Structure 1
Amino acid sequence: MAVRYFLPLALLSFAIGSLANLYFWLGAERPFVGPWLLKQFYVNYVDFGFAKRALVGTLLYPLFSAPVADAVAGAAIATGLSLAFFAGLILLLDRFHARPLRTGEAGLGACVLAALLLSPAGLMEIAHDIGRYDALNMVLLLIAVALVLKGRPHLAGVLFGIAGLVHEAVFFYGAGPLAVSLFATRARPVDMAACLVPGALALAAVGLWGNLDPAQLALLDARPGSGTTVWSRGVIEVPIALKPYEQAALAFYTLAPFVLILAVLRHNRASLWRYFLPPATTLLLFPLGFDYFRWASLGLFAVALTLLIGSSRLNWRLPPVSAALAVVFLLYCLPLGPLGTAHPLPFLELLWLHFTGWGG
């Protein structure tokens, strides 16, 4: 079902993940794309010089330059763009992965697509966090991986560098799948460098020069949305405190994909250095920000893309399913709503608060 009905099931995942956004939009008159994420669309190279996450705002400068777009118009444009990014993501996943599986053996690939459809860390999380540039960068990353697999790593490197200017976090969850695709095609070292170095350079540039000075921060703060502090904070974020059950949820949703890929790699006698360590670079995001559960979701995407590459190009197959592995996979795919960002499973939290007397 995950293979045959991927597109309609992806739309269902989107609908479930969007329930909270729809509630606030319809019931509390809050924009579908929240104010924290709206702010990034107003950052551009024209008004602010080189700034992190400013590429999209620069390309859309005529739409978001003051005083053309107020908060209402900006939110509407940002919502339309974010929906287009999500649509592009599921269409590419269908074209590159689900559609070929319909004519071949679907085992491992079908399990990967099922995890993306069902798990709180999959498409439901991307829908819940609509407005971020993650979906756009996933689109760019899927195209870049396809280019590598077609023998065009230099062009893939250009896309990777562009993605780094869209949002610098892509380096950590994108370098892994790109490296896996390069290993899968036995790319030359020079081609590996051409593919991966542009993303590293974009990351370095953002880290060195991506923040704004006080005058620019004041100018940005006057634009619609909130979260101006994003363009003034350091590289390392002070960690936030998590309750014990939140720590347990974080550990499970972060580590489960890596447990599953480890079982697949061992069964197929694949190199851990080449195919396990690259997607594990996603874990480096944790000290860089406190969107911990978002990092866990991006980890799933990196592992999923790695497994899809292995299934299609390296003939990886599912390992024998032990009871423990089946339990981990089924619990991970339990559709409990979106995973959340800094705190886990907001739908379950709302139910818990309601049935313990909150909200009347």
Structure 2
Amino acid sequence: MKNVLFVITKSEIGGAQKFVKEQVDILTSAGFNCYLATNRAGWLTETTGGKIRESLIDAGIESRLSPQYLIRLKSFIRSNNIGLVICNSANGGLYGRLAARFAGTRSIYVTHGWSSVYNGGLISIVFNKVERFLSTLSDGVLCVSQNDLKIAKETIGIKPSRLKVILNSIYPCKAGTPRAASADRPVRVLTVCRLSHPKLPEMLAEAMEGIADATLTIVGDGNKMTELREIINSRQLTNLELKGEIPFFQDFLSYDIFALVSKSEGLPLSALEAMSAGLAIVISDVGGCSELIRENGELIDNNVPAIKQGIVSCMNNLEKFQRNSSRFFSENFDLNKNSSMYISYYNLIAGWS
């Protein structure tokens, strides 16, 4: 029996959670048995519920260091005869790798961007040493971008023999009604993200000021929602709309440009969803984001003038960028084409034929 446990700190909607959800899809379709360990019921448990054999729902995973949770996770691994633990997020990576080692089970850590690097200063030095140590406990480190691989080798110091790159892949977005091009309508810009650190939706909102022939729709929720409302009201921005969180948002086809402004990213799945729907991309030059731009949008610095310039450039090259987004996604990031790479890697690490 090929029993795989996914460990992730939070069940709320996000890029790492979407990664886990679609990995569960491809593995269950290939005959694997999937299990889940996370903090509480939420988006991830709802979207995977019918395909998960058993779950460990335990808020203890949110604690920085809980020996009690570590013991419960190790027991869960042993009692379900788990052959491979796939760890996601900071706490999930810590507990998953330790519990797998104590249970005598093989494990993989999926990077989703190196948060240990982005903290900066002395904290980064400490966290990088922790990551280097934890990498010795796992049997593989799966990097979601070439940038993550470079950081793993050059900054953190993980042995190359433990590293593997498979660029983030998703199923293409097909839901929604495409919005027909028209010279007499505003260009529709979309962002989908958590409205909290490290995202910078407030900077994107400020950049929309003065772009009269474009609108911005912000999908998401978080502690920056109040700040966004204040920006809209104080600047009397009539071309912004706050949608709040939409748990199963798929309506990318109704928009023209996707913008993601952030201090740190791995290889953002929301941008891949937008590319699969043929949207031009405006994205911060952080993490692996540069790997998503091939004449299909603009890579930007995190300041208002650069964001504004990126949006205007996409508006001026809209058809070309949209066409290139669709093609670039299809050639490199379509999970329908790339699922076998994940399955082969998991089989290799677990020692399954």
TM-score, normalised on structure 1? 0.26
Question: Which of the pair is proportionally richer in helix?
Answer: 1
Higher relative contact order (CA 8 A, sep 6+): 1
Comparing both structures, which one devotes a greater share of its residues to strand? 2
Per the normalisation by structure 2, the TM-score is 0.26
